[in-house]
Amino acid sequence: MKLCMYDGILTVMYDMENPKVDRLCIDGQYDEPFTLERVVEKYPNVYMIIFEEPLKGKIFRYGNHEPNVWEEVGTTKGYA
């Protein structure tokens, strides 16, 4: 699954044994778009992310039904 995140808020949930949450503001500070693959590189034990833009957002689960596979599991109305 390909998702390129340019501008928005990324909430990363990781470490199911000792749950942690990080929020990243993606506002063009990266040289290339933030992708789902980059999330896994940065957070190897990620299990869910929420990517929100002003008017819409998407929720993804990692490794839920198949190992190493992202699955879109929901949407949001954004943060505006």
Give the pLDDT confidence score for residue 79 in this predicted structure.
81
- Cβ neighbours of residue 14 closer than 8 Å, sequence gap 6 or more: 20, 21, 22, 43, 45, 46, 47
Domain residue ranges of the chain, discontinuous segments joined by +? 4-76
Per-residue pLDDT of the chain (80 residues; tens, 9 = 90+): 556 777 889 999 999 999 999 998 887 666 677 788 889 999 999 999 999 988 999 999 999 899 999 999 999 998 86
The β-bridge partners of 34 are 5
| pTM metric for this prediction | 0.85
